[in-house]
Amino acid sequence: MTKMTNGTMAKLGLVVAMVFVLVFITACGNNEVASTNEEAPTTATAASDATEPGTGGKAVGFIFVGAKDDYGYNQAGYIGSEAVEKAFPDYKILRSENVPETAEAERVMEEMIRNGAKIIFPTSYGHLDPALNVAKRHPDVLFFHQGGLKTADNLGTYFGTIWEPVYMAGVAAGKMSKSGKLGYIVSIPIPQVLLNVNAFQLGAKSVNPDATTTVVFTGSWCDPGQQANAANSMIDQGIDVLTQHQDCTKTVIETAERRGVMSVGYHADASELAPKGWIVGSIWNWPTLFVDMVKVASEGKFDGSPYDGQFRGMMAEDIVQLTGFGTEVPDDVKKLVEEKKAEMAAGTMHPFAGPIKDQSGAIKIEEGVTPEVTALESIDYLVEGVIGSIPK
């Protein structure tokens, strides 16, 4: 082994010292980078907050509580999503069907956000709270909830005054019924459901003072077994016109057709299911509205737009519509409905202009009072002439 001189050892010590300094400096530099990385999310959040929610995304998401081909609520929404897909070819359209009104809805929306969605349509009534939770976590994502009564900075709600065409359908049903006994199969007693039942009965009563509407609550948006049982029970009681507030409408309409009674549709046009018994239906016209909402959102114009609160489109704006009449509906009934429709559009007739009484005969809307849409959407009673009680 070669013996090191004192000079050599001194030089070696200097090299070791320099290496130590370099290692120390490098280590300090790595600590600074780590610190910067830890602060990055805060910086990103600040940048995100400065960007209008809904902008910069690569996809638009739609979640549905049922199937796209239910001849009802989800089919109407799906048709709207197809219009968005056609109008915005650069966006990927993400759709998820049969999403329950639980925390599962949050999981689905989070996945859509990871896949590039900055605009999401949670379409079922019970998707609202999950959407509000996700909206808090993602201020850069914009949510359009269908029918909700609560909003947030990045969540608006939209709906239509569907009770207008439902009233018109009630007019047609009241004229077509031979027994004067109408049946309404509904889901759960939220205000919008009660509002439709009341509108239908008021429409029928306007042309047949003795008309009654029997209501059955299934407790579900789509349970074909319960729907069939309710429909058959009503028909056995002498009811000759059936309608519904269910997401899936096929079972009720087919049961009515099979049993030889008439039907009134809801949400989407299902007239092909009832070639003989179809009277008319009340439906949503989402395509134009959905396209406009996505346009407003993607351009960063949500704040201050009609959609940043509770947007409610009316029949005069073509947001809600009547379908075509069935083949068995006579011309005089069609004419009467069209006349009522014209009166409503002109503002000379309102289905809920007072006085309106509830089932007990108590005045709920005073004479001379015409309630605002927001007041109607908080209805908690059934009107005179409706048979059945609201579940507790």
pTM of the entire structure?
0.83
Report the pLDDT value the prediction gives residue 195, as an integer from 0 to 100: 98
Per-residue pLDDT reduced to its tens digit, 249-280: 999 999 999 999 999 999 999 999 999 999 99
The arrangement of strands across the sheet holding 320-322 comes to 320-322, 278-284, 262-267, 241-245, 181-186, 212-217, 386-387
Per-residue pLDDT reduced to its tens digit, 292-340: 999 999 999 999 999 999 999 999 999 999 999 999 999 999 999 999 9
**Which residues are within 8 A (CB) of 369 and not within 5 positions of it... i.e. 6 or more apart?**
353, 354
- How much is the mean pLDDT over the chain? 89
Give the residue from 204, 222, 184 showing the smallest Cα distance to 72: 222
Q: For tokens 């005179």, what's the residue? A: 384
CA 318 vs. chain centroid, Å, equals: 17
What's the rounded Cα separation, in Å, for the pair 106 and 93? 18
What's the rounded Cα separation, in Å, for the pair 78 and 125? 16
Give the residue from 58, 60, 52, 54 showing the smallest Cα distance to 81: 60
| Rg for the chain, CA atoms, rounded | 30
Burial 183-205 (b: 16+ CB within 10 A, else e): bbbbbebbebbbbbbbbbbbbbb
Beta bridge partners of residue 94, listed in sequence order: 61
Task: Report residue 337 as tokens.
Answer: 């409905």
Q: DSSP code of 391?
A: -
Pairing of strands 363-365, 356-357: antiparallel
Q: For tokens 């092909």, what's the residue? A: 272
Per-residue pLDDT reduced to its tens digit, 186-213: 999 999 999 999 999 999 999 999 999 9
Report the pLDDT value the prediction gives residue 361, as an integer from 0 to 100: 97
The arrangement of strands across the sheet holding 59-63 comes to 92-96, 59-63, 117-122, 142-146, 155-160, 310-313
SS3 295: helix
**Which residues are within 8 A (CB) of 258 and not within 5 positions of it... i.e. 6 or more apart?**
none
Report the pLDDT value the prediction gives residue 51, as an integer from 0 to 100: 83
Per-residue pLDDT reduced to its tens digit, 117-150: 999 999 999 999 999 999 999 999 999 999 999 9
When pLDDT is averaged across residues 3-22 and rounded to a whole number, the result is 38
